[in-house]
Amino acid sequence: MDSVGDVDIQRISFDSKTYDTDSVAVESPLSINVEFRGDSYSVGILMRTPGDDEELVIGFLFGEGIITEKKHVTEILIDDNCCKVKISHESFFDPLEHVRKTSVSSACGICGRDSINNLLRLQNVGMKNGHIYSLKTIIDSVNTLRSSQNIFSVTGGSHAAAMMSPRGTLRIISEDVGRHNAVDKLVGKCISNGMHDPGENFLVVSGRASFELVMKSIRFGFPLMVAVGAPSSLAIDMAIEHGMTLVGFVKEENASVYSFPGRISIS
């Protein structure tokens, strides 16, 4: 299934109406069912842009705290919009904690959770403290992200998440209609390639820095997260709690640093 589709539209102005076609980012459901110790559980329905579905599932399971490495997933079967995942006994699946009550929309990564208590304080997460990132690197990384968004360049309707090297070189990029899906796909690609933490690489996201995106970023261990838009108050609190540098409102010559500014240099 393609990530981009064409639709018939009518373009209107005050003095004309014309018929045309337009390209849009595809959004469709992906139900995820986990098989654990012989039993099957539904952990949600993701509204996503098709493409990199296996990586999306792996990243989603990692972000939920169900797995911590690829070996915890023994099999993934995807048929159309249904995914069945077999996970090992060594995984951290807890039906009471991880089974969703509702679907997960493309706008919300924690929908359907009965409690967010376990989300507010992540365990065993350590941030790298050694590298200093220049303001120029941060600004350039946002420009690199924008120029690398293939789906957005066609549709104007997708979000992106990218892992950048400490010098701002693009390492990996993922796109999706959902901001959290884009991050899950990115993390899933990393884990699938045997990368269990980002080292000094940092995360750049195309929209605002919501709580759920900061949570996913921290869980994987990114020392720095850069957002084009604004952060939320809870996102800032979580970044401060876990020692991650959070940067938002990146412009051509300036940016706002909301936590741990010691990692950022203006020289």
Residue linked to tokens 């991880």:
98
DSSP three-state, residue 135: helix
The Cα 48–Cα 245 span in angstroms is 28
From 82, 83, 108, 111, the catalytic residue: 108
Residue 62 has a CB neighbour count (10 Å cut-off) of: 24
Which residue type sits at 134?
Answer: S
Give the C-alpha separation, 116 to 112, whole Å: 10
Residue 190 a catalytic site member: no
Token couple for 254: 């300036």
247 vs 194: CA distance, rounded Å: 28
> What does the alpha-carbon distance between residue 34 and residue 39 come to, in Å, rounded to a whole number?
8
**In degrees, to the nearest 5, what angle opens at C-alpha 258 toward C-alphas 256 and 264?**
70
Active site residues: 108
